[in-house]
Structure 1
Amino acid sequence: MDRQEGRSRKRHRGQGRVTLADVARQAGVAPITVSRALNTPGRVSEAVKARVDAAVEALGYVPNLIAGGLAAAGTRVIPVIVPSLAILTFIEVIDAIQKRLEAAGYQMLLATTDWDLDREAGLVDTVLGYSPSGVILTGLRHHPRVITRLKEWGRPVVEIMEVGEDPIDMNVGVDGLALGRAMARHLLDKGYRRIVFAGSHLGHDYRAAQRLEGHQQALAEAGLPQGPVLEYAEPASYAVGARALADLLAMTPRPDAVACSNDILASGILLAASKQGIRIPDELAVGGYLGLPLAEHLSPPLTTLAVARSDMGRQAAELLLQRLEGMTPAEPVRDLGFTLVEGGST
């Protein structure tokens, strides 16, 4: 980092928005040139455009999209950015966030990333342009510029779903490695040894990949080789679960247990097993993750790792609201843990 960039970052850390004039000084051009480079790039040379883009990146500049006075004060809007609305994991969390924010007089703005960190970065740039009072993000992995901009932004940020030691600001979630270890250890304690991990969308859903890593760690700690992994590219569904059952039954030697990346996949396996007359858990034990209400109504009920999703959303909103009210939360990083709910599937 050069000295000019360092001075610029220091000057604006926690002191509000970087201005177009700041970008102009950093790039060594007039403010009107910056405006043209950003809004009508065809009107400037490639060299000038490159200098402006470098200045924007270095300073974390986000254009004002609302009136200056309101931008300075912050709107009563809280963006909540999640990977997907097609997965039930996030619905209860979002619902709890919305209810708590609305009770405090704030409105939630919802956006989805489709598991794409570049898309998340673009969404963060956009929502910051509307001067929200705070932001709630999913997970702890983000584009580096997102982390830098939000740390320097000066308003409250809460990251949800997973928990870690170095959040942007505040954090409420669960330990993915611990989840994976817990289900594997449960199956091992039950006497199962030919244990498969079945996961969906692992290349995108890195929190599910963390559960796989924890699963393999538990097998290694028990002196067993890493278990086989069934991986499906598409998001979890009951249909994918049915495919997983067919794949499990075709394996040699046949597994005696499967740990699934979520309850949706596990439920699909149980529903397909019921149709085919496969005895659960005698022929195959099945474990899940999430604690969906459906799990207890299956036959047999699903053994799962339940996470307090509504409580997670409520606490995330509470942390953000406390900061907006000028308070310093006693526990800005919160590991909510999980509960092993033992059904008849293991």
Structure 2
Amino acid sequence: MTVEFKHQGTVTLAEVAEAAGVGESTVSRVLRNHGSFSDKTRDRVMAAVERLGYVPNRIAGTLASTGSRLVAFVVPSLSNIVFPDVLRGASTILEENRYQAVFSVSDYDPEKEESLTAAMLAWRPAAVMVAGYEHTDGTVKRLRASGCRIVELLDLDGDALDMAVGFSNRAAGRESAAFLLKRGYRHIGYVGHDLNRDTRAGKRFSGFCEALAAGDATLADREILAGASSVENGRLGLERLLARTADLDAVYFSNDDMALGGYFHCLARGISIPSQLAIFGYNGLDIGRATPQPLSTIRTPRVETGKVAAQLVVNNAPSQVVDLGFELIEGATA
């Protein structure tokens, strides 16, 4: 038997006010927790809200007010913990200050980032947070014309549109190479994902190669896999790399996901780490510390990046660049 669903009309602010026996402006003050009202009035309003199932129209409130409470995020991916960590840090500060975060995912596609940014800007947010400095001309034009605050995250190798919070990816790549060279590794390979789409990984790779050259070393071989980074691609990439260049003594991976895939490949093939092959990653993920041999890597301040970026927005801070740095974790794989 088919049961027809009948949509119930939206409960209005006026209906809540009538049920609570107060004016609409009083209901509005209670829901925004702003202005004067007694505890008794608050209890009556909230009881009416609960009884009627009222849901405030935050967008309407935003458009009617002098300042938006929305903060929009356009992030490349949610497939690993990096950007969820940033969002988690930002949400902590935004929620404390009664801002609402909304986000969308570009899949490392610059054209998709442009369309998503345009869609987010249509909501007139207080701020837009995007990853990195590399955007299409259309994205840059829209952001600059929007009148909202702009925060670029997790990269400082370039010129900020307004505010930026993060660290230098080139410096992280250089420090990774310097660490491996200091440990005596000279026949070094690289396994990574699409460097044209993930420009921050591309910058780390460039910095890594710069440091190798400064240390009178060169990259012996590389394996770049199409698509996003993953544990499986790391395993496959190292397998292909060693099939061509079996005498490598160390491999630098574009991030910890890929490095863990390489680590699992070594375990499966009986390759001793680090005596036969050293492995070095990037990001400092928790899982890398939980492996039998903790991963040698760069730890990035992802949660702190989100917190600092959100605080800048809440404070309506002047345009600035905040360098949070990074930490090299020696681990046990290199």
Q: Determine the C-alpha separation between the residues in 2 that align with 1:271 and 1:69.
A: 50
- Larger C-alpha radius of gyration, 1 or 2? 2
Match of 2:211? 218
**Amino acid of the residue matched to residue 94 of structure 1?**
L
Distance 1:248 1:165, change over 3 A: closer
Q: Judge conservation of contact 1:219–1:227 (CA < 8 Å) in 2.
A: no
The DSSP-based 3-state class of the residue aligned with 2:86 is helix
Q: Is the 8 A contact 2:150 2:162 kept in 1?
A: yes
Q: How does 1:171-190 map to 2 (within 5 A)?
A: 171-190=164-183
Q: Which residue of 2 aligns with 1:193?
A: 186
Pick from 291, 307, 319 the counterpart of residue 298 of structure 1: 291
Of residues 219, 242, 253 in structure 2, which corresponds to 1:249? 242
RMSD: 1.9
Check 1:237–1:204 CA distance in 2 against 1; reply closer, same or farther (3 A cut).
same
- Whether 1:155 and 2:148 are equivalent positions in the alignment is yes
Q: Does structure 2 retain, via aligned residues, the 8 Å contact 1:72–1:131? A: no
Instruction: State the secondary structure of the residue aligned to 1:136.
Output: strand
Q: Which residue of 1 aligns with 2:162?
A: 169
Of the three residues 314, 318, 323, the one matched with 1:335 is: 323
Match of 1:275 in 2: 268
1:176 deviates by 1.1
Counterpart-to-counterpart distance in 2, 1:186 and 1:67: 54
| Conserved 8 A contact 1:201-1:232 | yes
Deviations 1:251-305 (A, max 9, x none): 3352100011000110111122122221000110000000001111112111000
Deviation sequence 1:46-73 (CA, Å, 0-9, x none): xxxxxxxxxxxxxxxxxxxx77981673
**What TM-score results when the alignment is normalised by the length of structure 1?**
0.76
- Which ranges of structure 1 fall in alignment gaps of 5 or more residues? 1-65
CA contact (8 A) 2:223 2:238 kept: no
1:153: how far off? 2.6
Structure-2 separation of matches of 1:261 and 1:270: 14
Unpaired stretches in structure 2, ≥5 consecutive residues: 1-58
Query: In the alignment, what sits opposite 2:300?
Result: 307
Report sequence identity in percent.
36
Alignment partners' CA distance in 2, 1:92 and 1:125: 24
Query: Could you tell me whether the CA contact under 8 Å between 2:283 and 2:298 is conserved in 1?
Result: yes
Q: Which amino acid aligns with 1:129?
A: A
Give me the whole-angstrom Cα distance separating, in 2, the residues matched to 1:131 and 1:76: 9
The amino acid across from 1:174 in the alignment is F
Is 1:92 matched up with 2:92? no
- Kindly report structure 1 stretches of 4+ aligned residues shifted beyond 4 Å: 66-69
Q: 1:130 to 1:192 in 2, by over 3 A?
A: same
Give the number of aligned pairs: 276
TM-score normalised to structure 2 length: 0.78
* 2:167–2:325 Cα contact (<8 Å) kept: yes
8 Å Cα contact 2:85/2:302 also seen in 1: yes
Following superposition, the deviation at residue 203 of structure 1 comes to 2.6
